[in-house]
Amino acid sequence: MRFSAEQQNFVESVRAFCAKECGTPQQRAELTEGGTLADSPALLRRLAELGWLGISLPAEYGGQGGTFVDECLFLEETARGLAPTTAYGTGLTAVQTYLHWGNDEQKRIVVESICAGNFEAIALSEPGAGSDLASARMAADLDGDDFVLDGQKTWTTAAHLANHILVLVRTDSSSSKHEGLTLLMVPADAPGLEIRAIDTMYGRTVNDLYFTQVRVPVSAVVGTVGRAWQQLNRGLGVERLIIAASSLGSAQRSFDDVLAYVTQRQQFGRTIGSFQAVRHRMADLATEIALCRTFLYDVADRLDAGDEGGLSRDSSTAKIRCTEAAKNTALEAMQLMGGYGYAREFGMEAQVRKALAPPIYGGTNEIQREIISRSLGL
């Protein structure tokens, strides 16, 4: 799609911000305590001050009232600029469900939280329920006017930074696995909730959550008791676009860096980018990124127009291609940079580590292929 002059100016502004605030390895190390954290709360607050968070969220609840295309431009450009703010996308995912199913107070609280530069989390996965999410078992039993939560959630991004966690619980185990699931808005500092970091290859971001007699009032229900499975569907479709937009930015950044490298690096008396074997690989990467961009923004544009008929299928397509483009581009770039691709100093190894997770989270790419297959009647 064609972007307006205003959108192009916005992208330029985000690019300049990233170059200034997190453009050097030293700046990024300072923001992430030497790379041990995936996200920088300080940088997210700076973005909030500029009015760039919650671009696509409704103005009536405190958002910027813009389009999802603009949101994707922001996500793409911050990923391209290596801003350590990936978990912003997780809050943006959680808020989709609040906006569609939550009450006015829940919507206002979460939208304001995100726009102010706070984190919001969503806890669906359990040790025994990953791809088969509907088999989630963590219980919440009604006791007077409260639900009492007991059990474990896992892989919850940014729970340790978040104000609230949108938690999937089983409130009825007597019916089929797709029924009896409920969503609850749980304060991250609720008594009885323990949040423990999971050690991963890309800095602190994900957590195990242990619930012991955690009480929340019935007013914490988001939507309808027992209908979480049906309610989650649209939000997870939008999540796939959020992941796709960030991954596109990551792919573009790896491409930018390797293009600069092959243009400058000399072997056998010429730049390595002048060898046809290298040029064709660069052309293939550029082709894939261009197609990903065109497709992603087409889906985002249709979402803005209220055309959600193909959202589930098309967001899966965008998620597969953009996350695989980010992974393949980073791996190809590492190979094309030779030993320097493997060294921390040149940054490509971090791009590789970062690009390995998105094909897994937000529903693995195998599960996305299942969604697409189902849309084909298979």
Ligand X SMILES: Cc1cc2nc3c(=O)[nH]c(=O)nc-3n(C[C@H](O)[C@H](O)[C@H](O)COP(=O)(O)OP(=O)(O)OC[C@H]3O[C@@H](n4cnc5c(N)ncnc54)[C@H](O)[C@@H]3O)c2cc1C
Q: Which residues bind ligand X (CB under 6 A)?
A: 90, 122-125, 130-131, 155-157, 206, 357, 360-361, 363-364, 366-367, 370
C-beta closer to ligand X: residue 122 or 251: 122
How many angstroms separate the CA atoms of 307 and 314, rounded? 12
Q: 219 in helix, strand or coil?
A: helix
Strands of the chain, DSSP E: 119-123, 139-143, 146-153, 162-170, 181-187, 193-197, 207-217, 266-267, 270-271
Residue type, 153: K
C-beta closer to ligand X: residue 131 or 212: 131
Which tokens sit at 260? 């600069």
Which tokens sit at 337? 């940079």
C-beta closer to ligand X: residue 73 or 357: 357
Which tokens sit at 284? 């293939």
C-beta closer to ligand X: residue 170 or 281: 170
> Which letter does DSSP use for residue 202 in this model?
T
Neighbour-count burial of 169, counting CB atoms closer than 10 A to its CB (0-12 exposed, 13-18 middle, 19+ buried): buried
Q: 192 in helix, strand or coil?
A: coil
Closest distance of CB 220 from ligand X, Å = 18
C-beta closer to ligand X: residue 329 or 368: 368
Which tokens sit at 213? 């007699």
Angle at 51 between CA 49 and CA 52, to 5 degrees: 110
Closest distance of CB 79 from ligand X, Å = 15
Closest distance of CB 374 from ligand X, Å = 11
C-beta closer to ligand X: residue 271 or 364: 364
Closest distance of CB 357 from ligand X, Å = 4
C-beta closer to ligand X: residue 259 or 367: 367
C-beta closer to ligand X: residue 78 or 154: 154
Closest distance of CB 234 from ligand X, Å = 16
Residue 125: CB atoms within 10 A of its CB come to 18
Closest distance of CB 342 from ligand X, Å = 23
How many angstroms separate the CA atoms of 354 and 362, rounded? 15
DSSP-assigned states of every residue in 50-93:
TT-TTTTS-GGGTS----HHHHHHHHHHHHHTT-S-TTHHHHHH
CB 257, CB 334: distance < 8 Å? no
| Residue nearest to ligand X as judged by C-beta position | 130
Any idea which residue has 């596109």 for tokens? 248
How many angstroms separate the CA atoms of 372 and 375, rounded? 5
Closest distance of CB 22 from ligand X, Å = 20
How many angstroms separate the CA atoms of 143 and 139, rounded? 12
C-beta closer to ligand X: residue 125 or 316: 125
Closest distance of CB 345 from ligand X, Å = 25
Closest distance of CB 323 from ligand X, Å = 12
